[in-house]
Chain A
């Protein structure tokens, strides 16, 4: 199972998952890391502990350029096996939980980006 790590400010990650579970059912194989009260070093350490030493994983970050993004250095999260996305939203989260066991990793990467972006429209 591809592990998902939700690395955000405040409780955004926890609430996204909770909400996604009302749509796709209870989930496992994920971790939530909040940057609240943590220094840049501490965030990096909290993330590193959650990442599998080999195999694939996806890190979902809320804001590009912030301290959560900063924790995802290429050394901590090599991009050949770990996907990292900013702007995590509900459509992306639902897509992840629904498809992570149904498609291969490269296809999953593509879908997450597409679904996440497509989720933003003027209504």
Chain B
């Protein structure tokens, strides 16, 4: 089990987009940004989309969940200078099962989907998402919702528990 002190571990269904590449990267200045997603890693076009426009000073790596877990568990990851981006609570849970656990997950964007209920304007959860969050919280991971660094942070575990 690797408890990672990452610069940012973020769940965002748009992965590396403006808010992250500009908003968060300008504030925290990562040297590496890991876009961790099986579908993206399996698509040459999508991989190059995310790698082609890195924020200044950062290098973007697109990897599958398993490949990232292997890398992180090997000790080669420079966590304090890295961003970890995944698309969903399911991905975050899968990483936990592979032994990768950040101290906290920044929940930055889960947009409206069918069967999803609104927790915050930028956090909509389906039943499967709630289950995954609950499991992550049970493993001691904090779930903190915040879309942009200058905006307020919300404890998602508390919000989810409160609305059951």
Contact = CB atoms under 8 A, between A and B. Distances in A.
The answer to whether A binds B is yes
Interface of A: 9, 37-42, 63-67, 69-70, 73-74
Determine the interface band of chain B, counting residues with CB < 8 A from chain A. 10 to 19
Interface of B: 13-18, 21, 43, 45-46, 49-50, 52-53, 87, 110-113
B53 A38 contact: no
A4 to B, nearest CB: 22
A105 B152 CA distance: 48
Contacts of A40: 13-15, 87
A119 B21 CA distance: 26
Given A39-B13, A63-B18, A64-B53, A70 B46 contact: yes
A42 B49 contact: no
30 contacts: A9-B18, A37-B111, A38-B112, A39-B110, A39-B112, A39-B113, A40-B13, A40-B14, A40-B87, A41-B13, A41-B113, A42-B111, A42-B112, A63-B18, A64-B53, A65-B17, A65-B50, A65-B53, A66-B14, A66-B17, A66-B18, A67-B14, A67-B17, A69-B49, A70-B14, A70-B17, A70-B49, A73-B45, A73-B46, A74-B45
